[in-house]
A and B are shown apart, each in its own frame.
Chain A
């Protein structure tokens, strides 16, 4: 039986393992309105391998704003920054961390 090639236990539909079909993880940058004209910028979906604490430290210094890291059960760690820092955050992610622009989504008005 095993001499016949067709009956060998090779599954042509099995996962070969080398195809990267994992969905692209977007980094979402959102904005939320607070009281008055104050806003809050949230950054979700930053890959695990980055040290959020360090990123936050640099961001806070660069943008001259406060911020913190919130833990969310659904999306994991979230960087929160005071004020509208969306464009600045995106530039930082692209330039300093070498992320691709197409993987970053900016939401809000």
Chain B
């Protein structure tokens, strides 16, 4: 019975280990005759225990040696029974056990090892299943894994008053949009102007942080990239030359939807210009 328990629950085992370490002193003092009996067949056992103790000292949790472990389990079993039974009963029992000891040892060991081979926790199995699934066909795991990854905007400060948006081109490429369009939107939303430098980076006038740019980018994607019908980001922006309207053409579901053109809103005149104009 205890062998089964031991095989199933490693935590239980550990608890019992502690009990064992205390057990000899506790059980020895009230029943001295038991000790002698104990010595008869447990001489070897004690030695083992010592080695085991040493082992524990050297590598605490790392129970690599299966043999000692299985022995330990057996020991535990015996100890436990001893402890549970009354002193008078235990003497007889010990004898019987001693007789049967060798056999049981073998069978118990075998059983333990078999348990160790077959028993894998459900959680690890489930994890493994999902790992394999994700590897082989990622669409099935999680469902919405087809979302394309947009690199986070890299934003650097250029001097005190300008912001450099380093990876506009990359982001525009990922979104399948013309960089000009994206830049136009950025300027309209941020209410500033700017230029493109030699390395095709975008220089924006004004101080902006990455998170600011990111929120604007999100809105751009929401408005000009995501297909309203199927929520896919695999879309194209086409300009109808006849009516001069922009259309989102979805490559996933084939729907088209018109989008409003980018309008720069009202700009208040700030600072020096304020009075000049009027």
Q: Tell me, yes or no, whether B190 is within 8 Å of chain A by CB.
A: yes
Those of A18-59 within 8 Å (CB) of chain B: 28, 30-35, 37, 40, 42, 44
Please tell me if the beta carbons of B215 and A109 are within 8 angstroms of each other in the complex: yes
**Residue on B nearest A74 in the bound complex, by CB:** B266
Asked if A33 contacts B207 (CB within 8 A), the reply is yes
Cβ-defined contact, A70 with B208, below 8 A? no
Q: Which of B207, B266, B271 contacts A78 (CB 8 A)?
A: B266
Residue of A30, A33, A35, A37 touching B266 (CB-CB under 8 A): A30
Q: Are B208 and A109 in contact (CB under 8 A)?
A: yes
Given known A-B contacts A33-B206, A44-B265, A107 and B189 have beta carbons under 8 A apart: yes
User: How many residue pairs bridge A and B at CB < 8 Å?
Assistant: 49
Among B191, B207, B212, B215, residue most surrounded by chain A Cβ atoms (within 10 Å)? B191
**Looking at chain B, what size class is its interface with the partner chain?**
10 to 19
Chief secondary structure at chain B's binding surface: loop
Select B268's contact among A28, A80, A108, A109, beta carbons within 8 Å: A80
Tell me the dominant secondary structure on chain A's binding face.
strand
Which residues of B have CB within 8 Å of A35? 271
* A72 contacts the other chain (CB 8 A): yes
Query: Does B213 touch A at the CB level, under 8 Å?
Result: yes
Among B188, B216, B266, B271, the residue within 8 A (CB) of A34 is: B271
Q: Quick check: A109 and B216 within 8 Å, CB to CB? A: yes
> Within B148-204, which residues are at the interface with A (CB < 8 Å)?
188-192
Of A40, A72, A74, A78, the contact of B270 (CB 8 Å cutoff): A40
Tell whether A32 pairs with B208 under 8 Å between CB atoms, given A108-B190, A109-B216. no
In the complex, which of the residues A37, A78, A107 contacts B191, with contact meaning CB atoms closer than 8 Å? Answer: A107
For the complex, give the distance between the alpha carbons of A108 and B189 in Å. Answer: 5
Asked if B215 contacts A44 (CB within 8 A), the reply is no
Which partner residue on chain B sits nearest A40 by CB separation? B268
Interface size on A, residues (CB 8 A): 20
Residues of B within 8 A of A32 (CB): 191, 267-268, 270
Q: Using Cβ atoms and an 8 Å threshold, which residues of chain B touch A33?
A: 191-192, 206-207
Q: Are A72 and B266 in contact (CB under 8 A)?
A: yes
Which B positions have Cβ atoms within 8 angstroms of A?
188-192, 206-209, 212-213, 215-216, 265-268, 270-271
What are 15 A-B pairs with beta-carbon distances under 8 A?
Answer: A30-B265, A30-B266, A33-B191, A33-B192, A37-B207, A40-B270, A42-B266, A70-B268, A72-B266, A75-B265, A80-B268, A107-B265, A108-B189, A109-B213, A109-B216
Residues of chain A whose beta carbon lies under 8 Å from any beta carbon of chain B:
28, 30-35, 37, 40, 42, 44, 70, 72, 74-75, 78, 80, 107-109
Given contacts A30-B266, A33-B191, 12 further A-B contacts (CB under 8 A): A30-B265, A32-B267, A33-B192, A33-B206, A44-B265, A75-B265, A107-B189, A108-B189, A108-B191, A109-B189, A109-B212, A109-B216
